[in-house]
Chain A
Amino acid sequence: MSFVPHTREDVARMLGALGLSEVDSLFDEVRAALPPGVMPEMPRASELELRHHLWDMARLNGRPDQTPCFRGAGAYEHYLPAAVSHLLSRGEFLTAYTPYQAEISQGTLQVMYEFQSLVCELLGMEVANASMYDGASALAEAALMAMRITHKRRLLISEAVHPHWVETLRTYTANVDPEIVLVSAPDGATSASAVKAGLNDETAAVIVQNPNVFGVIEPIRQIGKVVNSSPALYIVAAYPMALGMLASPGEVGADIAVGEGQPLGLPLSYGGPYLGLFATKIEHLRQMPGRIAGVAHDAQGRRGYVMTLQAREQHIRRERATSNICSNQMLCALATTVYLALMGPRGFRTVAEQNFVVAHHLADRLLELPGCSPRYQQPFFNEFVLNLPAAAEDVERELWDDGIVSGLPLSRWWPERKGEMLFCATEMITEAAINRLVAAMEEALG
């Protein structure tokens, strides 16, 4: 394929205007400056040929939409109304870039404004940005922001925060070299008293995730009371789908709230693109990273939207910017905006309730299997850990032989936790899928 429209005549005309006869001459200066490089042998394909080839590759992934998946652990399959992808495919959204020219970017800018408003509502916070790369990098940026605000570099992090998020935080903050203290969660939940014991005057922030990586609903309100009575900032990472039921970060005293927005309108996508939600209190607005849209008016008093508070950002402040982030995940933010507009308050609450009900129903069924027991005696939302009477990785393998993606063997992240499996069930899991899983588990464990 080629997407270059220049005909032989066009090329002759353009080169003629430049006094040249060959395209290659445009690179004379480069060629003179560099040794002759080895150029790759990459074949070219027509659309039809390539489609055949890609289909062969796609089939190697199975049919993820037809194989039940009982896995969450940071990425969640929820129902996507058909109108979401339809609107995302509009070329005016898809093929635009950063709304530098506000007069012809009002679509993107108004969506940013609506998105920020929705994120504030969900997280119960005062202000939000127009999104970060994903939940993990949003958490890392939140930690950096807390250290900037407090001028301290001690972070108290619950050990029940997703391990990949903590690793991302460590990577992002490598240069600041924060003192990271993990708060233990021996019974699956982070205890407020452990947080209290860990706090001191040097602490920049306390970080918890709700529900946490084990699916446990954290006592975020009690922890909030403890943190708010200290000078440290409170950072809460929320699973947005649970916010149809569970307390929002703002309600429990969070200073900064983040979240992975993928569950709200984005497919699993083998890990990305996802969407970092980021919100804070208005007093910290000027320390917030990322792009922000705001209302503005033209000379005739018409309302429109512009990118605002850009003096925080890299293209103005350069090395003194609040972050190096340049873009956001705009198309993903559009997906979330459309998703929430379609679901409405009732749909959003219903999905949360269905997740709770389906996951608890799944837990009931699995606990009937001999040798299976709950790892934690804690309330959960749509994910939970079971002790299995066998190595979880063996169970995973046997279930995939039956075309089922099992829960996540926790040994993948913690090698010593061999018999533990983290199950997830969303509104996508049907009764039939649960029956299939239970039958396959019976066989695998029998």
Chain B
Amino acid sequence: MNERTIFEKSRTGRQTCYVPERERFHPAFYMLPQEALRQRAPVLPELTEGEVVRHYTNLARKNWGVDVGFYPLGSCTMKYNPRLAEQIAAWPEFSAAHPLRPTRAAQGWLRVLYETERMLCELCGMARFTLQPSAGAQGELCGMLMIRRYHMDQGSRRNIVIVPDSAHGTNPATCSLAGFQVAVCPSGPDGLVDIAALKRLLSKEVAGIMLTNPNTLGLFERDIQTICSLVHEVGGLAYYDGANFNALVGRFRPGDMGFDVVHLNLHKTFGTPHGGGGPGSGPVGVTERLEPFLPVPLVRKGPEGFEYEEHRPRTIGRLHAFGGNALVVLRAYTYLRLLGAEGLREVSGGAVMAANYLKQRLASAYQPSHPGRCMHEFVLSAARQLAPRSPGEGGNERGVRALDIAKRLIDLGFHPPTIYFPLTVPEALMIEPTETENLETLDAFAEAMLQIAEEAETSPEVLHRAPHHTPVGRLDEVAAAKDLNIRWRPPHKGADDGL
């Protein structure tokens, strides 16, 4: 059955009052100019609290989360989110604090921010971090604007940023937003940056390079020091996209690889919940030479306690009305302090072990993008499942795509991996199990994938029609984009639904 929208469940006069109606008017109300007032009230739904709670509880039940089951969405690091962090974030001492409180009245908050910055610096080998960016993509913008500012400060105008062909879409989009042209660097047959191709792209026009390491194929760029030195030799800077830092956390540092700027995704590596697509947090770390360009405000230790550093003459400015997603930073602080350095090493070790184990189990049925060891994730191709049978094999065409495999996984009780990314692998299935899944779950997932590979041979139509048991089947996205309905509209006056 269609789930009606909250608007369709509304009935006139059915609502709850949450705030007292004290005196309703003040004489000043009558002094307000008519044109300042609203002519048409917004149409909001009218329901009791019980109906609202039931509506959204039922919507929640149509969702999949890490709390529900395995969520091996590649490059998203869908690990378990510790509940202590949720509890702490709800304490009014933290959550009810106004961002412009006098610093004297927010010393606990400032200490959390200060100590988080120090821990991130140590984990990454950076001099300082800003906690302001609200997400990875905003962190990228912050980092690239600092690189732009650095070159302007050096008196050079550099317009080109090198981005590998396997990069996340945000990398090239960020370059454009920050005013750079993207030069795409092809990967070699081993899936790593092609050093010869990189050398051909390097020039005095190059402002820097953006890299994810391990890259989106789950492979460690072993020539990373060479890559960074080559870029540095022409005067460029190296930017580390921390989307895949879960593979290395607590063991290796981007600073030691030669990177000048690092962004981290606290909602990936540091265990804060993804919230259905945010809020996240994307702190950005820099080496000393980029420190002057960090956005304001920063937190420092002053003679009378922690305080803000607001005036920094060479700053790029600010990216948020206040200090960023503080409650997400608090959750990451909680995570870091619970685990400590030893716990973080277990995180990266467990994540890489789980990924390699799964890859090993699936490599016979699906074509891995690259042979051998992977880091925290790996990419399979469904090319074999898509390929038509050879004439000798007889029977139907297989024609099973990565999408069909993903949808069939839903039937079998798993969230599908990331599909059709990276773009360099045809029919890509990008699998990231994370360290918080037990061996039983990994085995069950492997069995499901093997079953699907079998079904691709014997009954591909089952896969084409999947999923079979969800509230809706595959939705027609093309029709949805053509015949757009992106908001509910109140029916015309006179309709008998009380609106």
Contacts and interface: CB of A to CB of B under 8 A. Distances in A.
A37 B343 CA distance: 17
B62 A106 contact: yes
A2 B82 CA distance: 10
Nearest to B360: A17
B493 interface: no
B283 interface: no
Contacts of B37: 245-247
A41 B344 CA distance: 11
A133 interface: yes
B321 A134 contact: yes
A97 B63 contact: no
Q: How large is the interface on A (under 10, 10 to 19, 20 to 34, 35 or more residues)?
A: 35 or more
B67 to A, nearest CB: 3
Interface stretch (B194-202, B247-255, B387-395, B450-458): B247-255
A319 B172 contact: yes
Interface stretch (A60-68, A178-186, A435-443): A60-68
Interface stretch (B25-33, B231-239, B284-292, B377-385): B25-33
Contacts of A100: 73, 418
Interface stretch (A81-89, A197-205, A365-373): A81-89
B63 A106 contact: yes
B277 A3 contact: no
B407 interface: yes
Interface in A72-127: 73-75, 77, 79, 81, 83, 85-87, 89-108, 110-111, 113-114, 116-118, 120-122, 124, 127
B36 A247 contact: yes
A182 B133 CA distance: 27
B108 interface: yes
A357 B25 contact: yes
A29 B487 contact: no
B173 A318 contact: yes
A324 B174 contact: yes
Interface stretch (A149-157, A227-235, A298-306): A298-306
B484 A81 contact: no
B101 A64 contact: yes
A219 B39 CA distance: 15
Contacts of B82: 1, 3
Contacts of A412: 100
B7 A117 contact: yes
A268 B337 contact: no
B319 A172 contact: yes
B326 interface: yes
Nearest to A119: B487
A444 interface: no
Nearest to A293: B486
B79 interface: yes
B137 A344 contact: no
Contact of A117 (B92, B179, B353, B488): B488
A168 B317 contact: yes
Contacts of A67: 105
A317 B172 CA distance: 9
B397 interface: no
A45 interface: yes
Contact of B67 (A94, A285, A408): A94
A30 B252 contact: yes
Nearest to A120: B487
A334 B53 CA distance: 12
B325 A272 contact: yes
A235 to B, nearest CB: 16
A360 B28 CA distance: 7
Given A3-B436, A61-B109, A268 B98 contact: yes
26 contacts: A6-B350, A27-B352, A30-B252, A34-B225, A44-B340, A50-B84, A50-B338, A57-B108, A57-B112, A61-B94, A61-B105, A79-B18, A104-B62, A121-B42, A136-B318, A270-B94, A271-B322, A272-B324, A295-B480, A299-B474, A318-B172, A326-B136, A343-B15, A350-B21, A357-B25, A357-B29
Given A324-B170, A341-B45, 7 more contacts: A37-B252, A58-B108, A127-B486, A162-B321, A168-B317, A329-B279, A400-B102
Kindly list the 10 A-B residue pairs having the minimum CB-CB distance in the complex, ordered from nearest. Answer: A175-B179, A91-B67, A271-B322, A44-B340, A331-B275, A273-B279, A171-B317, A60-B108, A271-B99, A107-B63
